[in-house]
Amino acid sequence: MATKSPSRTSAPAPRRGDHDVAQTVEDRRVAGLRERFPGGSFDTLAVSLAVSRASLNIDRQIAELLKPAGLTPLAFQTLIAMYLGDEGPLSLKLLGEELRVTKANMSLVLSSLEKQGLIRRRADRDDGRKIRAWTTKRGESVIEEFLPKVCQSLEDLFEGGLDPSERQVLKRLAERVR
C-alpha cells in the first residue's frame, strides 16, 4: 500500500482574503513539481499561478459587488464600453477582442444587457456584420451606482499589499505579457 509523500500532507485550508495564503499555495505547488521533476524550470509557472490567483480574487470580489445589479464583471465591463463609446458601428469581434472574449460570448452578454434594459442595439444599416449599441438611462444609472463601489473595493483590495508606485509597476509588467 502506497503512502502519501510528505509534500502531500494535508495543510490547513487557505482562508479567503489571507494575502500570504496565495503565495503559500503557489509555492507549495511549484515546490512539489520541482521535487517530482528535478531540473525543470518552473519560475514562469510560479509567476503564472500567482497572477492567475490574483486575477481570480479580483474577479470574485467584483462579482460579489455586482450581484445586486444582476451583472457579471464581464457584463459590467461591456456596459462601460458601451457607455464610453459612441453610437457608431460596433464590431462584436473587435469588442470581444478588447474584452478578451469570443464574438459568441460577446453576443450573449449584449443580449443579457439588452434584456435587462441597460443597453439598446440595432443592426448597422451600412454593414450588417456590425451593430449600433448604446447605454440606456437605466444602464447609466447602474454605472453611476456601481462604479464607485467597484473602485473602492479594488482600492481596499490593493491597499494592504501594494503602494501606488508598485501598482503602476504591476500594471506596466502585466501589459507586457501578451
Q: What percentage of the chain carries pLDDT values higher than 70? A: 84
Which residues are 90's β-sheet partners? 131
Residue 147: exposed, middle, or buried by beta-carbon count in 10 A (0-12, 13-18, 19+)?
middle
Which pLDDT score is estimated for 89?
59
pLDDT band per the 50, 70, 90 thresholds, residue 92: confident
d(CA 150, CA 173): 23
Which pLDDT score is estimated for 23?
52
Query: Ranked by mean pLDDT, which of 14-18, 38-42, 82-86, 138-142 comes out on top?
Result: 138-142
Q: How many helices (H) and strands (E) does the chain have?
A: 7, 3
What is the average pLDDT score of the chain? 82
The residue to which cell 453576443 is assigned: 107
Mean pLDDT computed over 153-176: 88
pLDDT band per the 50, 70, 90 thresholds, residue 132: confident
Per the rule left: phi > 0, alpha: psi between -120 and 50, beta: everything else, 128 is alpha
Longest dimension (CA), the chain: 71
Helix axes 103-115, 73-84, angle to 10 degrees: 80
Q: What are the b/e assignments for 54-70, b being 16+ CB within 10 Å?
A: beeeeeebbeebbeebe
pTM of full prediction above 0.85: no
Which pLDDT score is estimated for 56?
92
Per the rule left: phi > 0, alpha: psi between -120 and 50, beta: everything else, 89 is beta
Residue 95: exposed, middle, or buried by beta-carbon count in 10 A (0-12, 13-18, 19+)?
buried
Q: CA separation (Å) from 115 to 24, 54, 134, 139?
A: 43, 32, 14, 11
